[in-house]
Amino acid sequence: MLLLQYEWMVNFKANICPDAKFTIKSTAWDFDRKVALYNAVFHCTHTGAGGPCDATNKHADTDYFYHVETNDEGKVTSMQKVWNDGHCLKQIGWA
């Protein structure tokens, strides 16, 4: 399932919204719990082929958040992303 989500986002960036980028708003690191937190905004415009309709040329700016846990060696053991993808899809005219 994770691979399918990754492939969807790769296609979304490469073909559907080639201008897609993000802006980091804040980061935090909890040394005791070995947890990193990232808050960012995803920016994109539907100008490419793909999706449920022709290019809408509509733009989206949507917030998202990552919670990343690491082990004692600093390797990622868990990662969660919180993103309201429906809000993004509505902004670009898909919903």
What pLDDT band is residue 8 in, cutting at 50, 70 and 90?
confident
Percent of the chain with pLDDT over 90: 83
- Contact present, 35 and 64 (Cβ < 8 Å): no
| Mean pLDDT of the residues in the chain | 93
What pLDDT band is residue 2 in, cutting at 50, 70 and 90?
low
Flag whether pLDDT at 10 surpasses 70.
Answer: yes
Who has greater pLDDT, 5 or 56?
Answer: 56
Beta strands across the sheet bearing 76-83 = 21-30, 35-45, 59-70, 76-83
pTM for the model stands at: 0.84
